[in-house]
Chains A and B, each alone.
Chain A
Amino acid sequence: MSPRLKTLRKVLNPPIIKGFKPYGPEVGKNNTEPVFFLFEEYEALRLCDYDMFTHHQASEFMGVSRPTFTRIYASARQKIAKSMVEGRQITIEGGKVYFDSDWYKCEKCKSNFNNPEREKPITACPLCGSEEVKSIEIENAIDDKCVSETKNICFCPECGFEQNHPQGVPCKMQICPKCNISLHRKTTVIC
């Protein structure tokens, strides 16, 4: 049986460079194989260490689960460390990703369209040629601001009983003392 397919990871923009080269007298003496840095790893590093999002927030941006995101991020750091310690070149390529494009709306013909070539800005509607085009940022704006935060509290969906979440034990394994049903993890949406 073939393994389960990987979910496509959403990457906002491709990196502006194709990779990094080491320099110094020892370069190229023994380790000449480059380190292949995937686009998803670049994105994970950018979200986590450049934009300072938490793994949970970043995983939602990329459309993968939090544990998957952490694995991608761990792999990213491992590769960077490897290239630094062994003096290898980094090549950014590959990965199971898609680039999310910007969406626009035309005021004249009421059509929505996207911009697949992100290098060129949109000036006119591709359908009717009108210049009254607006960028749609509502969808992204909600994604940016509203992030569900997981709290260290398990709660009962029936009676509302709450208790502190024990480390390493799934909430499903906890039983409400009043209703005898399994507890859920408490999450709040912060906007």
Chain B
Amino acid sequence: MKIAITSTGNSHDSTLDQRFGRCNFFVVYDTESKSTEFIPNPGLNAEEGAGPASVQLVASRNVNKIVSGEFGIKIKPLLDSLKIQMIVLKDSEKKISEIIEMLNH
């Protein structure tokens, strides 16, 4: 199963980005192969439609879950129809490595 995490940087020590559409990086973590992939967000400075574009990018990697601080109103119905689970974590201090550790429970 693949899980996307929004990140502020491209290392395991970066923290969770509280925004979904305009986060700096997406981390795609594979629970089976334990591999991580850092994808820079192309919609970071987009004027509008950053959220739906991000959904498209993440959905193209066959992700089942997304961990982020917040999801916009345009995103929720989109992810609902794609059957992608949203996990809202209101903790901006959490590091990517810590989240991956939690996912390996």
Contacts and interface: CB of A to CB of B under 8 A. Distances in A.
Contacts of A126: 65, 85, 87
Contact of B77 (A98, A109, A113, A130): A98
Interface residues of A, number: 20
Interface residues of B, number: 21
Interface in A97-144: 98-101, 109-117, 126-130
Interface in B81-105: 81-91, 99, 102-103, 105
A113 to B, nearest CB: 4
Contacts, number: 52
B80 A129 contact: no
A114 B103 CA distance: 16
A112 B89 CA distance: 7
Nearest to A109: B102
B89 A111 contact: yes
Query: Which secondary structure dominates chain B's binding surface?
Result: mixed
A168 B105 CA distance: 63
Nearest to A129: B105
B79 to A, nearest CB: 7
B85 A110 contact: no
A63 to B, nearest CB: 10
A99 B87 contact: no
Nearest to A111: B89
Interface string B59-72: 00000010100000
